[in-house]
Amino acid sequence: MFAKVREKRQRSGAAGGIAAFVGMSAVAAVLVASSVTPAIAVAGLTANSTLGIFDNLPDYLEIDDLAQKSTIYATAADGTPVVLATFYAQNREDVTLANVSPFLKNAAIASEDPRFYEHGGVDLFGTVRAILSNALTGSSQGGSSITQQYVKNVLVQKAEDIADPVERKAAYNEATQVSVDRKLKEMKLSVGVEQKYTKNQILEGYLNITPFGGRVYGVQAAARYYFGKSAKDVTLAEAATLIAIINNPSAYRPDIKENQQDNKDRRDYILARMLENGKITQKEHDAAVKSPLKLNLTEASTGCQTAPDGAAYFCDYITWVIKNDKAFGETEDERWNAFQRGGWKIYSSLSLPLQQTASQAIYGNIPTVVDWGNIAGAAVSVQVNTGRILAMAQSKDYTNDPDLAASGGNFTSINYSTDKEFGGSSGFQAASTYKAFTLAQWLKSGRGIGEMVDPRVRPLPMNKFADKCIGVGGADWNPKNDSGTFTGPISVTDATSASVNLAYISMALKLDLCDIKQTAEAFGVHRADGNVLGQSPSDILGTQEVSPLTMATAYAGIANQGRVCTPIAIDKIVDQNGVEIPVPKTTCTQAVTPEVANAMVVALKTPIARGTATASNPRDGVPIIGKTGSNDDYNQTWIIAATTSVSSAVWVGNTVGFTSLTGRSLSTGAATTARHRIMNPILAVANALFGGAEWPGPPANLLGGRTAVIPDISGLSLEDGVKLLESVDLAVDGSCGTIDGRETSGRIESTVPAAGTTLPTGTVVNICLSNGLLVTGPPSVIGQTEAAGKSFLLSKGWKVRIVYADAPTCPGSDAGDGEPVTTPAPTPTACPNPNQGKVIRQSPNGGSARTGATVTLTVQS
């Protein structure tokens, strides 16, 4: 029965066996001379050169911590840690010998090293037997004691702990090569181990380090994987089945059907050895031999795909943090190796209640597959004053299988919330959420949110924009407003509430594009693909592609008095020995002054209170700022909202392509408003969990607006007049056109309102151009006779029109001696008329008039 089992071992040629016999005979002599087996007293053998070599070998083996699972935790509502996912290079759970079934211990000793408790590290009898058998039969019979096997496994583990793949392979080959040198080293180290550790410590280490097939290591993980139970609860037959695997894991692992008969043969061999050594009774032996193999394969969960509550992408983000951050090792290989083998307990920043809400809101509104486009959604929340990521969810199913990810559909490995460097996408156009940074620069320049700006659609020469860094040029730009028609200026606050594109462009015209970009960068804004952030005029409207995490962080900075804290996902890491490992810390910087941030808050409250973001407002009394964004054709849509505690960003749009969301429906409503149906419950739960307070008020100068006096620009060219008006922050419109004027034709005649009028900056002023047809008006001929006046005006080139005024009349008067008049009043009679026949009125009279105009003279009759 056991012949078949022995065939599993590699055969060697007779010549090789004889050579091995010669070499190993010398080893045996060394062992005897060195008293490696203290129970055997051998006299009369002198040390030779081989003994000298042996004595020079190292006898100290540092036994490192074994590779252990690392676990990522989230925080439940009651503050307790909850497992998100585990990771391992080796599926192992250390267990004490007291928690291992006696069947397992006795099976290991009976089959692998019956004299384990008698020898001093190397079993001389077993070694000699193996030498003779291997030499004479050409077979490869194991002669290593449990201590020797333990030493070999420790050396193999040391090799596998090496991050560099070339060094790792070399060390592994050295630890596993079939040679006399390796065997000598292994034996000498075994002697040292026996001198340092007790037998039970060695057996416990052996049972924890031994491979059991695949990535399963140690009896505890093996018992759980093969039988779904603890190592202390396995039956006799199960114990023998597990120990059978040790002899040759790839050949005896019973989860491979073709191996099951061979495993049973080896199992029964072990049971026979246990009976022979008195560790079990005949009855126990017979019952175990008759028992069939009953596996209960229980795969240990590993990887982010096992994370609950849609937290797989947050889990994935943590793995990228570990791979990218040198706090965990010099190279990525070192960092990942330490993570997979270090038994770390990673306590993350994730708030499970908020994560559950975000995940439900996302999955409840955005299908994993949308049949009319490559549409997805993502939501991320960060703690305002710490940068801690509290939630991260998206509308796809996570996979790290490249083939499954490549198949598309509902699976992806791409994290839409993060940058490409952290497993994310190349980003999405931020649209009007980016206007916040023009607002910030507007206020930094000393302007106020009450100032008036021009919202009208109009062609914009690119040379009107200032950029001190790279300059601006190109054809005229013709941007549009998303909605609304404007005939006059609006305040910055109203422009923010309604998200008016041209109003914000008007603001940018008074600023520098490079300054706006640098202000955005101060808030932590950067492109998701790692390229340089742009600063063209169109970027004012959010054409740069960024991640939701970046925008949530930036708005957290606004809500945090202008202080921006970089996002972090890990609160604490503890290794398998309870020692804390340093983790990346948030870095907080002041992007703008608190006064500027508080003025931004006032403007950004309006979209969610009465503007474009009202549908996201949970109306729970917590003060909120917010801003919507949608790019051309609504193929990317956003809502970002923040309180003094939590900042959240929701994106819904195209992962690939440019399908418009306009006119499209999802199961819960219009696709363009899905962002609000996601954000509303996130805000409600975030406010319930973390609360929020009112912000301090900004100074009056940032709330109000500046004023300007219209300068007198009559007689100037249109270009110079426009420059002068814009220099005092007044907007210009030539809508009053060309009028009769005294100024040279084509020059400015006047403005509406008139020069000298005080207006809020940004107010539109109309420029009126002269046609040059006005001259000094006709001289006055009032008091002259009709003939003289008319003759004079005609001689000067004016036309004359005569109208007559009635002669004045006086009432009669005969009152006697002052007595009351009792008779009817007399008929009026003509009064004296000294102006009869003279001009008494003239129009026009002086001033300005067109050459040859008609002058109307009124003559007294």
Q: Considering the chain, what percentage of its residues have pLDDT values greater than 90?
A: 73
**Residue 532 burial (CB < 10 Å; 0-12/13-18/19+)?**
exposed
Terminal C-alpha separation, the chain = 152
Instruction: Read off the DSSP letter of residue 785.
Output: B
Within 10 Å of residue 370's Cβ, how many Cβ atoms?
18
CATH of domain 706-772: 3.30.10.20
* 504-537 pLDDT tens trace: 999 999 999 999 999 999 999 999 999 999 999 9
Q: Which residue has the higher pLDDT, 1 or 194?
A: 194
Q: Of 89-103, 128-142, 156-170, give the lowest mean pLDDT range.
A: 128-142
Q: Which CATH architecture has domain 429-546?
A: 3-Layer(aba) Sandwich (3.40)
Nearest-angstrom CA–CA distance, 230 and 250: 23
What's the one-letter identity of residue 197?
Y
pLDDT band at 852 (very low <50, low <70, confident <90, very high): confident
Within 10 Å of residue 494's Cβ, how many Cβ atoms?
21
Copy the structure tokens of residue 370: 């949308």
The alpha-helical segments, DSSP class H, found in 210-304 are 219-227, 236-246, 249-252, 260-276, 282-290
Residue 44: pLDDT above 90? no
* 526-577 pLDDT tens trace: 999 999 999 999 999 999 999 999 999 999 999 999 999 999 999 999 999 9
368 within 8 A of 310, measured Cβ to Cβ = no
Residue 38: pLDDT above 80? no
CATH of domain 88-290: 1.10.3810.10
* 360-370 pLDDT tens trace: 999 999 999 99
pLDDT score, position 715: 94
How far, in Å, are 26, 29, 32, 34, 46 from residue 52 at the CA level?
Answer: 12, 12, 14, 10, 11
Residue with tokens 């700022």: 625
Peptide bond into 461 cis (omega under 30): no
pLDDT score, position 55: 59
Residue 412: pLDDT above 70? yes
pLDDT score, position 827: 57
pLDDT score, position 24: 53
Check if 706-772 and 776-860 are the same fold: yes
Overall average pLDDT of the 368-392 stretch: 98
Overall average pLDDT of the 47-59 stretch: 53
Determine if the pTM surpasses 0.85. no
pLDDT score, position 134: 54
pLDDT score, position 7: 36
**Residue 10 burial (CB < 10 Å; 0-12/13-18/19+)?**
exposed
Instruction: Read off the DSSP letter of residue 512.
Output: B
What's the one-letter identity of residue 463?
N
Residue 25: pLDDT above 60? no
Residue 582: pLDDT above 80? yes
Residue 447: pLDDT above 80? yes
pLDDT score, position 31: 55
Domain ranges of the chain: 88-290, 429-546, 706-772, 776-860
pLDDT score, position 98: 97
**DSSP labels, 141-170:** -----HHHHHHHHHHHHHHHT-SSHHHHHH
Residue 417: pLDDT above 90? yes
Q: Considering the chain, what percentage of its residues have pLDDT values greater than 70?
A: 89
Report the relative pairing of strands 758-760 and 707-709 from DSSP bridges.
Answer: antiparallel
Copy the structure tokens of residue 545: 């592609």
Copy the structure tokens of residue 671: 């696709």
Nearest-angstrom CA–CA distance, 451 and 608: 21
Overall average pLDDT of the 454-464 stretch: 92
CATH of domain 776-860: 3.30.10.20
240 within 8 A of 288, measured Cβ to Cβ = yes
Instruction: Read off the DSSP letter of residue 568.
Output: B
Nearest-angstrom CA–CA distance, 241 and 270: 9
The alpha-helical segments, DSSP class H, found in 691-761 are 700-703, 718-727
Copy the structure tokens of residue 698: 């900004």
Q: Of 40-54, 690-704, 840-854, give the lowest mean pLDDT range.
A: 40-54
pLDDT band at 597 (very low <50, low <70, confident <90, very high): very high
pLDDT score, position 130: 60
* 194-247 pLDDT tens trace: 999 999 999 999 999 999 999 999 999 999 999 999 999 999 999 999 999 999
φ, ψ of residue 625 to 5 degrees: the values are: -110, 155
3-state secondary structure 657-675: CCCCCCCCEECCEEHHHHH
Which of 416-425, 728-737, 831-840 ranks highest by mean pLDDT? 416-425
φ, ψ of residue 83 to 5 degrees: the values are: -65, 130
pLDDT score, position 16: 46
Indicate the average pLDDT of the chain: 89
Nearest-angstrom CA–CA distance, 12 and 34: 29
pLDDT score, position 323: 96
Residue 712: pLDDT above 80? yes
562 within 8 A of 695, measured Cβ to Cβ = no
Copy the structure tokens of residue 470: 């790279």
Overall average pLDDT of the 46-52 stretch: 44
Nearest-angstrom CA–CA distance, 564 and 588: 5
**Residue 113 burial (CB < 10 Å; 0-12/13-18/19+)?**
buried
Residue 261: pLDDT above 50? yes
**Residue 495 burial (CB < 10 Å; 0-12/13-18/19+)?**
buried
Report the relative pairing of strands 345-351 and 70-75 from DSSP bridges.
Answer: parallel
Nearest-angstrom CA–CA distance, 241 and 244: 5
* 803-817 pLDDT tens trace: 999 887 776 544 444
Copy the structure tokens of residue 814: 């005969």
Peptide bond into 760 cis (omega under 30): no
What's the one-letter identity of residue 613?
A
φ, ψ of residue 722 to 5 degrees: the values are: -60, -45
Nearest-angstrom CA–CA distance, 306 and 321: 19
What lies within 8 Å, CB to CB, of 647 at 6+ separation is 381, 382, 384, 552, 553, 555, 556, 559, 640, 641
Q: Of 3-7, 384-388, 795-799, give the lowest mean pLDDT range.
A: 3-7
Copy the structure tokens of residue 259: 């191996």
pLDDT score, position 665: 97
